[in-house]
């Protein structure tokens, strides 16, 4: 291997959203640094299979209130 062309590969601590930790090797930061995750396999719906449901008073209603008939696909002209 050529000298001085590879990044420093060292041990860091990864902190999951629930506070649990594990050590791994990475080029992130400096040796001994911590990487705090905001989203991880324990909480993200892509891994857990649990999805948030947009309720009647939720995100869809907020969108409709903000943008009105912007997405009117019925072909009718707006007044």
Look at the block and give the residue holding tokens 């902190």: 15
Indicate the range of 11-20, 22-31, 52-61, 63-72 predicted with least confidence.
52-61
- What span, in angstroms and rounded, lies between the C-alpha atoms of 4 and 51? 47
Q: What is the pLDDT of residue 52?
A: 62
pLDDT of residue 28: 92
pLDDT digits (tens, 9 = 90+) for 41-67: 777 776 677 766 555 567 777 777 888
């Amino acid at each position: 291997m050529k000298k001085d062309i590879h990044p420093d590969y060292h041990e860091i601590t990864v902190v999951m959203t629930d506070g649990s930790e594990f050590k791994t090797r990475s080029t992130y930061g400096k040796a001994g640094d911590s990487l705090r995750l905001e989203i991880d396999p324990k909480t993200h719906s892509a891994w857990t299979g649990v999805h948030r449901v947009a309720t009647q008073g939720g995100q869809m209603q907020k969108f409709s209130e903000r943008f009105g008939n912007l997405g009117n696909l019925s072909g009718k002209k707006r007044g």
